[in-house]
Each structure stands twice: as C-alpha cells, then as structure tokens.
Amino acid sequence: MYKTQNFVLASLLALAVASPAIAETATTGSDAVQPKAPEATQTTPRAMTAPAGTASITVQHDNQVLSSDLVGRPVVNSEGQNIGEISNLIIDDQDRVVGAVVSVGGFLGLGSKEVGVAWNEIRLSREDDKLIAMVDMSEQSLTAAPEFKSLAEAERDRAAAAAQAERARQLEQQTKGQLPGAAAE
C-alpha cells in the first residue's frame, strides 16, 4: 500500500517539475503559433522605466550641485570670512531656485536668525574640491536684514495678529459698557 502511494506521489512530483519544461518547448508543426519576440520594455519592470515624456537624470555633472551639498554649507564674504550658513533653499512656482535662507549671528545655533538672500547674490565655486558659497555682503548687513519667514510662519503670525486684534476689540467693547457715564450707542 505504501509502495503504491510513494509511486503515485513520485509520479505527481515528476509531472509537476516537468510541466513547465514541457510547456516551454516549441512545437515545430505548421499549426504552431510562433511567439512574438519580447520587446525591450517588456523585460524591464514597470517601476524601473521612466514614464513617457519624462527625462531621467542618471548622474550629477560637474556644473550641478545637490541641495544636500548646499544646506549646512557656510556662507563667506568676499574676504573669505564665515558670515552665516545656508539653512534652506527657496524655490518658486516655476521650479526655480530664487533664494537661500541663511542663518546668521548667534553662537552654536543659539540667538541666530534666518534671512533670505536672493539666489543671484550667491556665487558658488569650488576650491580644492570644496564647495564655497560666497556673497558680497558683510555679516552686519546680513544681521541687519529683516528676518525670513516661511509661508507657514507668516500665516501663523497673521492669524495670531488677527486673534489679538479681535481680543483687543472685544476688551474695548466690554470696557465701554462697564465705564460709568459711558454713552449708549
């Protein structure tokens, strides 16, 4: 009994292993359907191909800089003195870098402020394979510049100012109603 079961299991296993090989052998008769040669895009997984109409960049060129190479980069003046550090890049709705946020002043990040510097004011160069970000400004002029606020910070400030103005208006109305001799409006 066990010999018969083993024989049946062995036969099924052999059939299962041989089935893909049998299916892949080509028939040579006149009725055989010849498979179409696979196209190059069929051999490449879909996730690896770029969508139609887009270009992919495969390597950084000598005239290109990665944003990760800029953020954290010291900013020097024309005398080579460190006057700040790039903390962010400003990109417009046309996908162009239009400025950099530069952290100035302070000590070890404490007491510093961020100012926006127009991108055309920043010159990038390489010295001994080291990237240099230079501006024709003094540390004093950067420190005196108005503080940069992101869109979220500016909206938060506007909302806080509007809420404060509303509280002041309500307080004024309450005060008018509580003062003796206040004229009724």
Is residue 98 within 8 Å of residue 132, measured between CB atoms?
no
Residue 109 has what pLDDT? 62
| Best CA proximity match to 78, nearest among 125, 144, 115 | 125
Span 69-91, pLDDT tens digits: 999 999 999 999 999 999 999 99
| Best CA proximity match to 69, nearest among 111, 17, 23, 126 | 126
- What tokens does 8 get? 């049946």
> What is the pTM (predicted TM-score) of this model?
0.58
110 burial (CB, 10 Å; 0-12 / 13-18 / 19+) is exposed
In what side-by-side order are the strands of the sheet with 113-118? 113-118, 97-104, 82-91, 74-76, 130-135, 122-127
Residue 112 has what pLDDT? 85
Residue 62 has what pLDDT? 84
Span 96-108, pLDDT tens digits: 999 999 999 877 6
Residue 128 has what pLDDT? 86
Residue 105 has what pLDDT? 83
Helix, strand, coil % over all residues of the chain, rounded to 5: 40, 20, 40
> What does DSSP say about strands 74-76 and 130-135: parallel, antiparallel, or unpaired?
parallel
Domains of the chain, earliest start first: 67-152 (2.30.30.240)
Give alpha helix (H) positions in the chain.
2-24, 40-43, 67-70, 139-144, 151-178
Positions of the chain with pLDDT under 50: 1-26, 29-30, 32-48
